Amino acid sequence: DTGVSQDPRHKITKRGQNVTFRCDPISEHNRLYWYRQTLGQGPEFLTYFQNEAQLEKSRLLSDRFSAERPKGSFSTLEIQRTEQGDSAMYLCASSWTEGYTFGSGTRLTVV
Amino acid sequence: SQQGEEDPQALSIQEGENATMNCSYKTSINNLQWYRQNSGRGLVHLILIRSNEREKHSGRLRVTLDTSKKSSSLLITASRAADTASYFCATEPTGGGNKLTFGTGTQLKVEL
């Protein structure tokens, strides 16, 4: 599979627990993005990496959120002390020049 | 925050008809892109139009861009049931570091 892979596809967690999501981008792509999408809305930007450097973070990314991209390959997004408002689809995308390739997303439900 | 809005929010048509969706945005852009999203899945890149282009075609898709009005339209000709999905426009703002800002989407339903 040469697309963008995200794992897990679904995650149900109790409020207050920590969760971590993984994204494997297309190997030739140097840019990697995380977006969050809630029901009926378009994706909202969270953060962006160029190679291993995290170049931009949205104000949506509170202190409880952290993202890494060690060695400029896969990326992880961790949410600490989850809240019900964190329930959403978390989408990863990668790109080389223009146009994104998205993964299928991780749907997080905080109960 | 969302950069722009799509209009209409929902559209229902018969197979074979054309579907037109509009997108408005707020800031100056490098390019505007359209994506399709099937229910509960990731987004698929459809077409990109640069700020110095006015019209672009790809198969059954036709996109126009009017930077003076900060608006774009996506036309899908001869629609098929498989075109049923949500469609989002996304803008790359000038100086935006390749980050895209998405609109709120149009839900298209194509009925047999």
Q: Nearest residue on chain B to A48, judged by CA atoms?
A: B99
CA distance A70 to A68: 6
In degrees rounded to 5, what are phi and psi of residue A98?
-120, 150
Residue among A40, A42, A93 minimizing CB distance to B103: A42
Q: Nearest residue on chain B to A100, judged by CA atoms?
A: B45
* pLDDT-derived band at A10, boundaries 50, 70, 90: very high
**Residues in A 50-109 with any Cβ partner in B closer than 8 A:** 55-56, 89, 91, 93, 95, 98-105, 107
Non-local CB neighbours of B41 within 8 Å, separated by 6+ positions: A104, A105
The predicted-structure confidence for B17-61, as pLDDT tens digits, reads as follows 999 999 999 999 999 999 999 987 889 999 999 999 999 999 999
What's the average model confidence in pLDDT over B62-78?
97
Please tell me the predicted confidence (pLDDT) of residue B68.
96
What's the average model confidence in pLDDT over B59-68?
97
Mean pLDDT estimate for chain B: 93
Residue A21, chain B, CB below 8 Å: the answer is no
CA distance A90 to A11: 11
- For residues A103 and A2, the answer to whether their CB atoms sit within 8 Å is no
Task: Tell me how many degrees the CA angle A50-B36-B64 measures, rounded to the nearest 5.
Answer: 90
Q: Chain B residues contacting A, CB < 8 Å?
A: 1-2, 31, 33, 35, 40-45, 48, 88, 90, 92, 97-105
The predicted-structure confidence for A49-96, as pLDDT tens digits, reads as follows 999 999 999 988 889 999 999 988 999 999 999 999 999 999 999 998
Please tell me the predicted confidence (pLDDT) of residue A99.
84
Please tell me the predicted confidence (pLDDT) of residue B2.
53
Residue among B43, B101, B105 minimizing CB distance to A102: B43
Mean pLDDT estimate for chain A: 94
CA distance A25 to A8: 14
